[in-house]
Amino acid sequence: MSSTTSAESSPLELSGDELRRLTKLAADRIADHLDTLGSQPSFGTEGSEALARSLREPLPERGAPVEELLALLFEKVIPVSFNTAGPGYLAYIPGGGLPHAAVADLIADATNRFVGVWAAAPGLAQIEANVVAWFCEMVGYPPSARGILTSGGSLANFSALVTARRERLPENFLAGTLYASDQAHHSIQKAAILAGFPPENVREIPSDATFRIRLDVLEQRIAEDRVSGRSPFLVVGSAGTTNTGAVDDLVGLAEIAKRERLWVHVDGAYGGFFVLTEEGKRTLAGIERADSIVLDPHKGLFLPYGTGSLLVRDAGALKRAHALTAAYLPTMRDEHEFVDFCQISPELSRDWRGLRVWLPIRMHGIEVFRENLREKLSLARWAADELEKIAGIEIVSAPQLSIVAFRLVKPGMPEEELNGLNRRFLERINARKRVYLTATTLQGRFVLRICVLSFRTHAARMEMCLDDIRVAAAELS
Ligand SMILES: Cc1ncc(COP(=O)(O)O)c(C=O)c1O
């Protein structure tokens, strides 16, 4: 019996020719989109509600031509959004979206192998394990370390927290307390709640004038908790906060954690990959002493959204927190050499994330990424220097990595009014749509921030950014 006959083929199957046609149509649209990213507005959310309403539709009984669907996506849907892949996106933490990774996803999805269990796709699992091993090498972890690729930093922080809980607390863990600064990303708080802790078990430690965790308060708080019968078990350090890119004293944290027998977790979702640069390595000194580290390739390696990672120094800890088997699963490998990702992560079936990291790095080599990260550090410093020259601008947080926070000030103006002034300042800068900036609140002050992280952001766009800031500042003076 022939294994493939046209009589057996499903209408859902694509012939080789049909697949080529479909991918060509999509690739043409994507290429046009990417080629014009720089001239597209930095955001375009006018008519967003009308658009969302216009897209509501019943379950379609019949299909539609793909040309029509691509036109809908590229002409109507995609333009109404923040231009997160564009060079002017200096908001939040920029992603990137290396197109090579999109090609990798196409290969991964079309071949659709199962990477959660080593036996099902050993070569694919090895490629993903290579990627994790590269990350471990970057942060200075020993070969015994291990890690997983996640959908993002939030899920990676969650698995880190569950691992720390499993290692340092008994089954009944509700006396456990954990510590993070008031600048830590909210995914830490969320992870703690999801892991079953009451929100108040997360001790928020104040930060200093440079937005780094106050180690003296941390020690005091741990001591108080011990006296009152609590079980301190985890301290979280930030390797680049979302607000300002502040890097906690990771050596100091490691020392305290050693004395207090706490698990140290470093959230390097935004800043961790700067360790690839000499300057970043100095700023992030001590990261290698952490028990676990989160790095987000969809930030610092410019990949598309959907790629985070968690690295754990003691591979056994990751396994103890996640391993379970079932009668219907294949035999798992016990050796360190071969990894069953389902045994060290919360997921079983999932996409082959490793390829979207592996392909761009193998195609370019890591030096290109390193150089790009160096450029981001120097662009942020340049922006801070230029901002200082503008009358009325106060630098609230100088770049420790690639974020600068600033605001307009007027002598004698009350804080409340300054906040309103800076909201208008932000609106005016963004109104030109060449860049898109966002704001945050730091110690009660509404501040604007520039976060340079996209591989598409270079000096020319930063000049535009500074021009727009100068114009807006002059209009409001
Ligand atoms: C410092 C930090 N940690 C964690 C996260 C959460 O990462 P994700 O959005 O990938 O879940 C972010 C996101 O910006 C972040 O900046």
Distance in angstroms (rounded) separating the CA atoms of residues 204 and 189: 10
Burial class (CB in 10 A: 0-12, 13-18, 19+), 327: exposed
Residue 308 Cα: closest atom of ligand 1: 10
Contacts of 278 (CB under 8 A, 6+ apart): none
Q: Which of 212, 270, 302 best tests ligand 1's pocket when mutated (most atoms within 8 Å of CB)?
A: 270
Whether 292 and 298 have beta carbons less than 8 Å apart is answered as no
Beta strands at 445-451 and 403-408: parallel, antiparallel or unpaired: antiparallel
Distance 92 CA to ligand 1 centre (A): 10
Residue 160 CA, distance from chain mean position: 15
Tell me the pTM: 0.97
Distance 242 CA to ligand 1 centre (A): 7
User: What is residue 7's predicted lDDT score, i.e. its pLDDT?
Assistant: 55
Q: Give the closest residue to 312 by CA, choosing from 151, 117, 163, 195.
A: 163
Burial class (CB in 10 A: 0-12, 13-18, 19+), 294: buried
Distance in angstroms (rounded) separating the CA atoms of residues 178 and 156: 17
Whether 128 and 354 have beta carbons less than 8 Å apart is answered as yes
Residue linked to tokens 């939030």: 154
DSSP-based three-state secondary structure for 49 = helix
Distance 268 CA to ligand 1 centre (A): 9
> How many Cβ atoms are within 10 Å of 439's Cβ, its own excluded?
17
Whether 151 and 346 have beta carbons less than 8 Å apart is answered as no
Q: Which of 93, 299, 440 best tests ligand 1's pocket when mutated (most atoms within 8 Å of CB)?
A: 93
Distance in angstroms (rounded) separating the CA atoms of residues 275 and 383: 21
Tell me the HSE value of 418 on the side-chain side, using a 13 A CA sphere.
Answer: 19
Q: Where are the alpha helices (DSSP H) in 36-121?
A: 48-54, 66-71, 99-111
Residue linked to tokens 């104040």: 206
* CB of residue 303 inside a 6 A radius of ligand 1: no
Distance in angstroms (rounded) separating the CA atoms of residues 323 and 345: 8
Distance 10 CA to ligand 1 centre (A): 42
DSSP-based three-state secondary structure for 395 = strand
The encoded tokens of residue 49 equal: 């509600």
| pLDDT tens for each residue of the chain, 477 residues long | 444 445 568 999 999 999 999 999 999 999 999 999 999 999 998 999 999 999 999 999 999 999 999 999 999 999 999 999 999 999 999 989 999 999 999 999 999 999 999 999 999 999 999 999 999 999 999 999 999 999 999 999 999 999 999 999 999 999 999 999 999 999 999 999 999 999 999 999 999 999 999 999 999 999 999 999 999 999 999 999 999 999 999 999 999 999 999 999 999 999 999 999 999 999 999 999 999 999 999 999 999 999 999 999 999 999 999 999 899 999 999 888 999 999 999 999 999 999 999 999 999 999 999 999 999 999 999 999 999 999 999 999 999 999 999 999 999 999 999 999 999 999 999 999 999 999 999 999 999 999 999 999 999 999 999 999 999 999 998
Whether 307 and 358 have beta carbons less than 8 Å apart is answered as no
Tally: H helices and E strands in the chain: 16, 11
Whether 298 and 360 have beta carbons less than 8 Å apart is answered as no
Contacts of 236 (CB under 8 A, 6+ apart): 178, 179, 180, 184, 188, 264, 265, 266, 267
Distance 335 CA to ligand 1 centre (A): 32
User: What is residue 1's predicted lDDT score, i.e. its pLDDT?
Assistant: 43
User: What is residue 336's predicted lDDT score, i.e. its pLDDT?
Assistant: 87
Supply φ then ψ for residue 295, to 5 degrees. Answer: -125, 140
Residue 296 Cα: closest atom of ligand 1: 10
Beta pairing partners, 294: 267, 310
Q: Where are the alpha helices (DSSP H) in 148-260?
A: 153-168, 186-194, 215-227, 250-260
* CB of residue 93 inside a 6 A radius of ligand 1: yes
Burial class (CB in 10 A: 0-12, 13-18, 19+), 20: exposed
First CA to last CA distance, the chain: 82
- Going from the C-alpha of 406 to that of each of 35, 285, 434, 437, 474, the distances in angstroms are 32, 26, 19, 11, 15
